[in-house]
């Protein structure tokens, strides 16, 4: 049976070109970049090259790239590190309504340390409400964290407009952007977004799991992980050289193949939307105007999304019932509540996510499978 994987928002298959770039660093080239002998020097050079590649992609200096173990760590470092370093200016932290737990949880830690953490509102389209944001900003706000693309709905938030308002109304605030689902789909140059820091993760870009980066301008960042002082003291621990090489290759390819990604994901989304009239009661969740094509969240009434997901599996089609990081928890995703979904409706959210490797024919097959599964399930319950 053919396997059609449509859960790219959870993780993506490794691009063979990325694997190729990494292989020497999983084999004969194994130095510690901090060692002074030729093995170490070679590793340090590979790390420098990877850093330069990322600096180019995000239009920053090489000193502004911090390798981390992924976006969870990058988000933790950005949220905790920047808020703690700015304590003298104020104690308010604002976070987006649909942030990933790797932003929400460090913000909750900050609340326990005495910061006042507030959640930003969404407008009726499920997009960050800029007017409400403007009302909340003030000189005592030290950090705003807002994702660029939602991992649950594909919503594209207006970061540039956010940045503009923030600079005039909250002069001490740092702006952190979780760009995990955006890199390779929208322009993520830091100046373009107007942010101070940005988190990314290789495994969402056909790179390896367990490596990511925090791009951070400015020096006001309290480290979270301390030790040997690597990454200019901002993230101690021997660097993952093979991972960094893989991340750089993945970002380079994501940028070079952005048009391919956009075309492939648009075609795939269209294949699903064309069949929507055959899915009784189904609707696209959240974004009406601003979204990326790669992530499609559907409310499918009739059967719980988990049941639909397993029926699709039997036909070789792999999707997700909500976001992977939420699916092991019983609690409803706060993001679903934020966009106004009742808990019983939230159980019916199916997330289908595409990538540059998705073929139109595969999306058509998967859409057909979904039509059939929902028909079958409706027949059983009738």
Interacting residues with ligand PMP (CB under 6 A): 70-72, 75, 100, 102, 147, 151, 178, 180-181, 201, 212, 325
Cα–Cα nearest to 146, from 158, 134, 132, 154: 158
C-beta of residue 125 within 8 angstroms of C-beta of residue 340 = no
Q: Cβ closer to ligand PMP: 102 or 155?
A: 102
Are 147 and 197 a contacting pair, CB within 8 Å?
A: no
- Comparing CB distances to ligand PMP, the nearer of 219 and 329 is 329
Cβ closest to ligand PMP, residue 75 vs residue 146: 75
Helix or strand holding residue 159 (H, E): helix 159-169
Beta carbon nearer to ligand PMP, 214 or 367: 214
β-strand pairing of 317-318 with 4-5? parallel
**What minimum distance in Å lies between the beta carbon of 380 and ligand PMP?**
33
Q: For the chain, where are the E strands, in sequence order? A: 4-5, 65-68, 92-95, 116-119, 141-147, 174-178, 197-201, 212-216, 283-284, 295-299, 317-318, 349-353
State the nearest-atom distance from the C-beta of 176 to ligand PMP, in Å: 11
**Whole-angstrom Cα Rg for the chain:** 21
In whole angstroms, the minimum distance from the beta carbon of 151 to ligand PMP comes to 3
Burial of 319 (0-12, 13-18, 19+ CB in 10 A): buried
Residue 181 or 261: the one with the smaller Cβ distance to ligand PMP is: 181
- What is the rounded distance in angstroms from the CA atom of residue 377 to the CA atom of residue 353? 23
Name which of 346 and 373 has its Cβ closer to ligand PMP.
346
Residue 83 φ then ψ, to 5°: -65, -45
Contacts of 69 (CB under 8 A, 6+ apart): 210, 211, 212, 240
Instruction: Establish whether 195 is a catalytic residue.
Output: no
**Catalytic choice (14, 26, 134, 325):** 325
CB 140 within 8 A of CB 92: yes
Give least dist CB 180 to ligand PMP, A.
4
Q: Tell me the C-alpha distance between 117 and 129, whole Å.
A: 17
The DSSP output letter for 36 is S
Separation of alpha carbons 295 and 227, rounded Å: 39
Q: How far is the CB of 181 from ligand PMP (least distance, A)?
A: 5
The closest residue (CB) to ligand PMP is: 70
Q: Which is nearer to ligand PMP, 122 or 271 (CB)?
A: 122
Cα 168 off chain centre by = 27
Tell me the three state secondary structure of residue 186: strand
Q: Which residues are catalytic?
A: 325
């Amino acid at each position: 049976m053919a396997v059609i994987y449509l859960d790219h928002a959870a993780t993506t298959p490794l691009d063979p070109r990325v694997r190729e770039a990494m292989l020497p660093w999983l084999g004969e080239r194994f130095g510690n970049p901090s060692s002074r002998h030729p093995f170490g020097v070679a590793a340090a050079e590979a790390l420098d090259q990877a850093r330069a590649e990322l600096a180019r992609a995000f239009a920053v200096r090489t000193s502004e790239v911090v390798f981390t173990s992924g976006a969870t760590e990058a988000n933790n470092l950005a949220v905790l590190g920047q808020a703690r370093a700015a304590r003298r200016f104020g104690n308010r932290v604002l976070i987006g309504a649909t942030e990933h737990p790797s932003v929400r949880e460090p913000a909750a830690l900050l609340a326990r340390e005495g910061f006042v953490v507030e959640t930003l509102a969404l407008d009726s389209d499920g997009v960050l409400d800029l007017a409400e944001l403007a009302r909340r900003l003030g000189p005592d706000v030290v950090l705003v964290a807002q994702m660029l693309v939602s991992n649950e709905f594909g919503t594209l938030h207006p970061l540039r407009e956010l940045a503009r308002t923030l600079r005039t109304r909250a002069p001490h605030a740092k702006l952190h952007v979780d760009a995990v689902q955006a890199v390779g789909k929208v322009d993520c140059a830091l100046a373009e977004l107007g942010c101070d820091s940005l988190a990314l993760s290789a495994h969402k870009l056909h790179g390896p799991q367990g490596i990511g980066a925090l791009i951070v301008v400015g020096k006001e960042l309290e480290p979270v992980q301390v030790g040997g002082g690597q990454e200019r003291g901002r993230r101690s621990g021997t660097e993952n050289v093979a991972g960094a090489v893989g991340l750089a290759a993945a970002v380079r390819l994501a940028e070079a193949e952005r048009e391919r990604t956009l075309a492939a994901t648009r075609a795939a989304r269209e294949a699903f939307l064309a069949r929507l009239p055959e899915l009784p009661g189904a609707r696209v969740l959240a974004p009406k105007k601003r979204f990326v094509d790669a992530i499609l969240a559907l409310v499918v009434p009739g059967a719980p999304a988990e049941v639909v997901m397993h029926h699709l599996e039997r036909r070789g089609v792999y999707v997700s019932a909500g976001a992977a990081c939420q699916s092991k928890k019983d609690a409803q995703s706060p993001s679903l509540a934020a966009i106004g979904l009742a808990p019983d409706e939230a159980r019916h959210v199916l997330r289908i996510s595409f990538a540059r490797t998705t073929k139109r024919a595969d999306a058509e097959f998967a859409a057909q499978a979904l039509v059939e599964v929902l028909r079958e399930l409706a027949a059983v319950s009738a």
